[in-house]
């Protein structure tokens, strides 16, 4: 498979590993409503924010949406990643220049995107999906990156979004579309979106909860062959006789008699068939409904016209097309925001985000946007929840300090809590709250690799759990037993969690400390500052000892 190379690639492919773990520091004043609502707004560079969020949310996010700089050469974004590479350090802190003026513009963009996409992937749940807004300018590069990081086979679609706005000014070709590129963590696990494209007419068969088709199909691909319909084969009418019309398919070996909606005795019918293997599986199952390859309940029936039909019960109707239309415009969204008292150029429309979110079957999905801008994603999440009774949560990350505080959080605050618009009218809030967080200035580990002194048990617990299991922490962090992962109990001795002042505040694994630990009948991994237990005892107790902080090299 062809891959893409660029200046700095070698240095950035592992850069996500070098980014230090920082802590999330909540700011009560800037938070809104219930701080435990599960919604978060994080102020800071998403490279660091994602690393800080990973121990809590790895593998738990069903939907990611990002709207990164499109790298048009006009956005004035600044390359700021402290990658250990001489060629990259030259770019540090510089605004990325214009096309033809800055020859490394695309290298910088690729170097910025790569580690962020690698981190984002780690957040996705088994059935998760990422949507990325982009335009023609960077689409080819982005696809190369995504194929490399997510795997080509996991591409869900490259949606073409027909943008709306003022298109009546002259140009050689007026560009009126953008893209939303989407990749799944594992395409086979991504459920059919439970929505039908709004352009579909309500009379369409897509709205029926049953699909019915004849399986009589003649032609070179389906040469004539017999199927034996056993006694008891169902019909969709109560009583009658079928012999098949002259010159029509299927041909009946003898008259078929139907009583009480069932065939009275075996009949052989010959024709070319579609779904013959499935029909034979149905007959083999005693004419009980079976599941087809897509998991749809399927059965077969004789019908009064003398043919055999396949009937599929549809659990959820799903019809998403790759062209997104009538999903609002940035201009209208910008003016809607100004009426709310918020100024932001080029916000994505709430309609677009609501549509993408509604493709996720789980109404309690966690939705992450790490280039949050004006917070459209959170707006769409709150709106969608009000409309369908869902309990989706959002995590937003925004770099600009003032943008995050005065635009992202302020918009979400107004949308959630209500506000008075520019005309002095009261607008009802949609409800919901969020916690506003910043990133700690210092990382979790200091320059010597030791855990910073002010780190609380709960903070290290999240980190240890992630280091050991690669998954987000789900426990309460009120016990040295953090949880059990695939049969292995994970313990942490830190910060006097045992309230044992004897040896190092209970941070050292001794025989007496071991006796105080919540029991687990199986293998255990214990993280502590030191161990006084000998190898035979550790082996007998099925303990793997890991010394903090050295064993925490994630």
Ligand X SMILES: C[S@@+](CC[C@H](N)C(=O)[O-])C[C@H]1O[C@@H](n2cnc3c(N)ncnc32)[C@H](O)[C@@H]1O
User: Residue 392 CB, nearest distance to ligand X (Å)?
Assistant: 17
457: closest CA among 428, 436, 479?
A: 479
CB 193, min distance to ligand X, A: 21
Among 328, 384, 378, which residue's Cα sits nearest to residue 359?
A: 384
Instruction: Tell me the closest approach of the beta carbon of residue 352 to ligand X, in angstroms.
Output: 9
Check if the beta carbon of residue 472 is closer than 8 Å to that of residue 57.
yes
> What distance in Å separates the CA atoms of residue 492 and residue 455, rounded to the nearest whole number?
14
User: Looking at beta carbons only, is 32 or 348 nearer to ligand X?
Assistant: 348
Which is nearest to 149 in space by CA: 115, 178, 177, 176?
115
Of 279 and 399, which has the nearer Cβ to ligand X? 399
Q: Which of 463, 365, 490, 552 is nearest to 54 (CA)?
A: 463
**Closest Cα to residue 142, out of 176, 114, 177, 105?**
114
Minimum Å gap between C-beta 11 and ligand X is 17
| Contact by Cβ (8 Å): 293, 227 | no
Q: What angle do CA 297, 300, 304 make, to 5 degrees?
A: 140
Nearer to ligand X, 180 or 526 (CB): 180
Cα–Cα distance, 432 to 378 (Å, whole number)? 10
Which lies closer to ligand X via its Cβ, residue 337 or residue 552?
337
User: Considering beta carbons, is residue 47 or 498 the nearer one to ligand X?
Assistant: 47
Nearest-approach distance from CB 67 to ligand X, in angstroms: 3
Q: Least Å distance between CB 126 and ligand X?
A: 26
Q: Which is nearer to ligand X, 406 or 500 (CB)?
A: 406
Q: For ligand X, which is the closer residue by CB, 234 or 400?
A: 400
Question: Who's near 441: CB < 8 A, 6+ residues apart?
Answer: none
Instruction: Give the CA distances from residue 398 to residues 25, 41, 374, 436, 437, in Å, rounded to whole numbers and listed in that order.
Output: 15, 8, 9, 11, 11
Q: Which helix (H) or strand (E) holds 259?
A: strand 256-259
The residue (of 55 and 373) whose beta carbon lies closer to ligand X is 373
Nearest alpha carbon to residue 520 among 471, 554, 486, 550: 486
Return residues touching ligand X (CB under 6 A): 45-46, 67, 344, 347-348, 371, 373-374, 376, 397-400, 403
The three-point CA angle 510-523-456 to 5° equals 55
Pairing of strands 240-242, 426-427: unpaired
Q: Which residue is nearest to ligand X (CB)?
A: 373
Between 67 and 148, CB nearer to ligand X: 67
Q: Are 518 and 482 in contact (CB under 8 A)?
A: no
The secondary structure element, H or E, covering residue 18 is helix 15-18
Output 437 or 533, the one with its CB closest to ligand X. 437
Q: Minimum Å distance from CB 330 to ligand X?
A: 8
**Least distance between ligand X and beta carbon 344 (Å):** 6
Query: In the complex, what is the shortest distance from the CB of residue 74 to ligand X, in angstroms, rounded to a whole number?
Result: 12
Distances (CA, A) of 208 to 196, 212, 313, 314: 12, 10, 9, 8
Residue 349: CB minimum distance to ligand X, A: 8
Pairwise CA distance, residues 48 & 53, whole Å: 9
Of the candidates 22, 80, 28, the residue with the CA atom closest to the CA atom of residue 51:
22
Question: Quick one: which of 150, 70, 143, 160 has its CA closest to 106?
Answer: 70
Q: Which of 431, 365, 373 lies closest to 394 in space, CA to CA?
A: 365
In the bound state with ligand X, the residue whose beta carbon lies nearer, of 298 and 354, is 354
Please tell me the distance from the alpha carbon of residue 251 to that of residue 246, in angstroms, as a whole number. Answer: 9
Q: What are phi and psi of 338, to 5 degrees?
A: -65, -35
Smallest distance, Å, CB 280 to ligand X?
52
CB 408 to ligand X: min, Å: 8
| β-bridge partners, 258 | 240, 263
Chain length of the chain: 554
For 221, other C-beta atoms within 10 Å of its C-beta total: 8
In whole angstroms, the minimum distance from the beta carbon of 407 to ligand X comes to 8
Nearer to ligand X, 154 or 370 (CB): 370
Select 69 or 191, whichever has its Cβ closest to ligand X: 69
Beta carbon nearer to ligand X, 376 or 510 = 376
Smallest gap, in angstroms, from Cβ of residue 162 to ligand X? 18
Could you tell me which of 62, 72, 78 has the C-alpha nearest to residue 120? 62
């Amino acid at each position: 498979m062809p891959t893409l190379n660029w200046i700095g690639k070698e240095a950035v492919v592992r850069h996500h590993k070098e980014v230090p773990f920082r802590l999330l520091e909540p700011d009560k004043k800037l938070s809104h409503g219930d701080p435990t609502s599960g919604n978060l707004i994080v102020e800071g560079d998403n490279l660091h924010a994602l690393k800080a969020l990973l121990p809590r949310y790895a593998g738990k996010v069903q939907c990611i949406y990002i709207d990164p700089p499109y790298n048009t050469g006009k956005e004035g974004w600044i390359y700021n990643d402290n990658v250990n590479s001489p060629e990259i350090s030259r770019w540090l802190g510089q605004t990325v220049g214009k096309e033809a003026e800055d020859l490394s513009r695309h290298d910088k963009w690729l170097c910025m995107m790569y580690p962020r996409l690698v981190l984002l992937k780690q957040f996705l749940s088994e059935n998760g999906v990422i949507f990325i807004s982009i335009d023609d300018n960077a689409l080819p590069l982005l696809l190369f990156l995504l194929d490399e990081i997510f795997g080509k086979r996991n591409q869900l679609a490259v949606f073409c979004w027909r943008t709306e706005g003022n298109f009546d000014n002259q140009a050689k070709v007026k560009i009126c579309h953008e893209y939303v590129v989407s990749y799944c963590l594992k395409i086979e696990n991504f459920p059919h979106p439970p929505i039908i494209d709004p352009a579909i007419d309500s009379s369409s068969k897509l709205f029926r909860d049953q699909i019915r088709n004849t399986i009589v199909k003649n032609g070179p691909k389906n040469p004539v062959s017999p199927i034996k319909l056993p006694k008891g084969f169902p019909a969709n009418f109560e009583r009658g006789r079928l012999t098949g019309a002259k010159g029509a398919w299927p041909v009946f070996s003898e008259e078929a008699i139907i009583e009480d909606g069932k065939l009275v005795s075996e009949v052989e019918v010959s024709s070319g068939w579609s779904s013959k293997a499935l029909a034979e599986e149905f007959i083999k199952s005693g004419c009980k409904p079976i599941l087809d390859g897509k998991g749809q309940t399927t059965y077969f029936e004789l019908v009064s016209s003398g043919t055999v039909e396949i009937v599929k019960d549809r659990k959820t109707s799903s019809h998403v097309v790759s062209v997104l239309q009538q999903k609002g415009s940035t201009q209208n969204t910008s003016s809607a925001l100004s009426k709310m008292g918020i100024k932001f150029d080029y916000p994505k429309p709430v309609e677009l985000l609501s549509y993408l979110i509604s493709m996720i079957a789980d109404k309690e999905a966690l939705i992450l946007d790490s280039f949050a801008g004006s917070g459209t994603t959170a707006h769409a999440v709150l709106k969608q929840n009000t409309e369908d009774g869902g309990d989706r949560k959002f995590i937003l990350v925004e770099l600009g300090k003032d943008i995050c505080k005065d635009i992202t959080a302020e918009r979400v605050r107004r949308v959630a809590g209500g506000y008075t618009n520019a005309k002095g009218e009261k607008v009802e809030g949609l409800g919901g709250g969020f916690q506003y967080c910043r990133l700690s200035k210092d990382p979790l580990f200091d320059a010597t690799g030791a855990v910073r002194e002010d780190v609380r048990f709960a903070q290290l617990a999240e980190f240890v759990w992630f280091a050991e299991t690669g998954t987000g922490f789900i426990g309460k962090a009120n016990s040295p037993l953090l949880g059990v992962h695939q049969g292995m109990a994970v313990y942490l001795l830190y910060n006097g969690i045992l309230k044992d002042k004897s040896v190092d505040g209970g941070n050292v694994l001794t025989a007496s400390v071991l006796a105080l630990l919540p029991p687990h009948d199986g293998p255990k991994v214990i993280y502590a500052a030191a161990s006084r237990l000998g190898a035979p005892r550790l082996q007998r107790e099925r303990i793997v000892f890991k010394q903090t902080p050295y064993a925490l090299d994630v």
